[in-house]
Structure 1
Amino acid sequence: MIVGLTGGIGSGKTTIAKMFHKLGVSIYIADIEAKKLMHTSVEIKEELIAAFGEETYIDGELNRSYLSNIVFNKPEELKKINAIVHPRVGRHFKDWYAERSEEKYVIKEVAILFENDSYKQCDKIITVVAPIEERFRRLLLRDKTTKQAIQNRMNNQWSDERKTELSDYVIQNVDLTKAQEQVARIHQELIDLCDKI
Structure 2
Amino acid sequence: MSTAKPRRPFTAETGDAPPLVEEDTVLDEQQQEDVVQTLTDENQQSNSQWIQILKIFMLCGLLVNVVGLVLIIQASAEHREPILFTGEPIPVAPAFALLSVVLTGICYNITGNPRPLPYFAKITHEHLTFVSLAAPALSFFLARHRSQTLWWFSETALIGVCTTAYGMIVGSEGEQGPEGLNKLKYEYKGA
TM-score category (smaller protein)? under 0.3
Higher RCO (CA 8 Å, separation ≥ 6 residues): 1
> Is the radius of gyration larger for structure 1 or structure 2?
2
TM-score (norm 1): 0.26
